[in-house]
Amino acid sequence: MSMLPPTGKPLAIGAVDLFCGAGGLTHVLVRCCMNVSAGIHLDDSCRYPYEANNPAIFVEQDVKYLSATVVRTLFGDAPLRLLAGCAPCQPFSTYSRSGRKHNSDNDWELVASFGRIVREVQPDFVTMENVPQIEHHPVFEDFLGNLSDYHATWTSVECTSIGVPQTRRRFVLLASRLGLEELHLKLENKATNTVRKAISRLPALAAGEADIRDPLHVACRLSDLNLKRIRASKPGGTWRDWKPSLRAACHRKATGETYPSVYGRMEWDQPAPTITTQCFGYGNGRFGHPEQDRAITLREAAMLQTFPRNYLFVKEGEKVKFSGLGRLIGNAVPVRLGEVIAEAFRRHAEHALQK
């Protein structure tokens, strides 16, 4: 188990993690000495990483059909209860809009279901992490309607400001039935974390190679043409640096001018771009390694998401599937952001219990 060492004394907080994914948020809640009993997610591929890295059970369940009774049972007799959730945010994702219409209320069913569970269970604390645009959508107003008995605060966080080595802006809501004292995120200005600090010590690989000691440190193969393209790419540069013969058909169109980062390399001494579910593919964004002729590996993507270096994602001997693991990693709450959220509730609970 790759648990980070706990910090501080155990708290009387029981937690349930909705939309738990691979378990990064659970990981830091446990590290902050909370008793996370379960993570809930519809995708059973999350089960292994969730349970292998955390002392909690994985419940395969569609939150739309999750009953309040089940959630109350999972909380057990915890004196204080925290309900955490990051409902998927495909309606605002530029990577999910192609070929889709976004006028359906079904896009928001999971956020609405999260609000319903809050209303029916009435936990002591609630946190929601999502895309910043949600604050300006009617679904957020409806969610706040379920928090009428709570004190709530929310903010948009640029993750580089808290030490995450990627540019990623996220919305975070914190709510408590016990007031607002000490319930805030500590967004201290730290030295910018960079790609170099995050991944430079990992073994070098060529495209298509894997580290025999770490199945997650594996790079996608590249075609001969893409090998030529990445060798012609400069860190922080664009496809405009290439000879015309290397440019893709889309680059020759006027619309291609709006995608300068596609087929780009990261820069060692800057944060990475936002890690997406397709970050293992060289042509999917600025996901080229700063100096090795390949896209970043799944392990590098996980570390840029601030998962611990030894966080387990696949069983020993199991085949690594790029698309499935890319989805788990790209959709995850950056673990460092989860840590800041957990620390806020820890301070708040300690303050409340001292009264």
22 neighbors 314 (Cβ within 8 angstroms)? no
Statement: residue 99 has pLDDT above 50: no
In a domain, 8, yes or no: no
Whether residue 23 is found in the same domain as residue 47: yes
Q: State the average pLDDT over residues 13-25.
A: 97
Give me the pLDDT at residue 8, please: 60
In a domain, 2, yes or no: no
Statement: residue 261 has pLDDT above 80: no
Whether residue 204 is found in the same domain as residue 186: no
Give me the pLDDT at residue 191, please: 76
From the number of C-beta atoms within 10 Å of its C-beta (0-12, 13-18, 19+), residue 143 rates as buried
Whether residue 305 is found in the same domain as residue 164: no
Q: Domain range holding 279?
A: 195-330
pLDDT category at 101 given cuts 50, 70, 90 is very low
- As a whole-number percent, the residues of the chain with pLDDT over 70 amount to 88
Degrees, nearest 5: CA angle 103-107-111: 135
In a domain, 344, yes or no: yes
Give me the pLDDT at residue 254, please: 58
The lowest-confidence range among 65-69, 97-101, 159-163, 221-225 is 97-101
Statement: residue 111 has pLDDT above 50: yes
Whether residue 230 is found in the same domain as residue 154: no
Distance in angstroms (rounded) separating the CA atoms of residues 158 and 160: 6
pLDDT category at 324 given cuts 50, 70, 90 is very high
In a domain, 99, yes or no: yes
In a domain, 120, yes or no: yes
Whether residue 106 is found in the same domain as residue 216: no
Q: State the average pLDDT over residues 96-117.
A: 66
Residues classed as catalytic: 89
Give me the pLDDT at residue 253, please: 60
In a domain, 5, yes or no: no
Split into its structural domains, the chain has a count of: 2
Give me the pLDDT at residue 188, please: 74
Residue 305: which of 330, 269, 279 has the closest Cα? Answer: 330
Give a three-class secondary structure readout of 246-259. Answer: HCCHHHHCHHHHHC
What DSSP string runs through 294-314?
SBPPHHHHHHHTT--TT---S
Whether residue 62 is found in the same domain as residue 169: yes
In a domain, 7, yes or no: no
Give me the pLDDT at residue 6, please: 59
Whether residue 63 is found in the same domain as residue 160: yes
Give me the pLDDT at residue 88, please: 80
pLDDT category at 351 given cuts 50, 70, 90 is confident
Give me the pLDDT at residue 247, please: 87
Statement: residue 74 has pLDDT above 90: yes
Statement: residue 288 has pLDDT above 90: yes
In a domain, 338, yes or no: yes
Q: What are phi and psi of 219, to 5 degrees?
A: -110, 140
Whether residue 172 is found in the same domain as residue 203: no
Distance in angstroms (rounded) separating the CA atoms of residues 336 and 164: 6
Whether residue 219 is found in the same domain as residue 187: no
Statement: residue 94 has pLDDT above 50: no
Statement: residue 164 has pLDDT above 70: yes
Statement: residue 20 has pLDDT above 80: yes
Q: State the average pLDDT over residues 189-198.
A: 88
pTM of the model as a whole: 0.91
Whether residue 304 is found in the same domain as residue 339: no
Whether residue 175 is found in the same domain as residue 276: no
CATH assignment at residue 77: 3.40.50.150
CATH assignment at residue 235: 3.90.120.10
Whether residue 172 is found in the same domain as residue 36: yes
**Helix, strand, coil in percent for the chain, rounding step 5:** 35, 15, 45
Query: Residue 170, CB half-sphere, CA atoms under 13 Å: how many?
Result: 33
**Per-residue model confidence as pLDDT tens digits over 216-240:** 999 999 999 999 999 999 999 988 8
Give me the pLDDT at residue 96, please: 42
pLDDT category at 97 given cuts 50, 70, 90 is very low
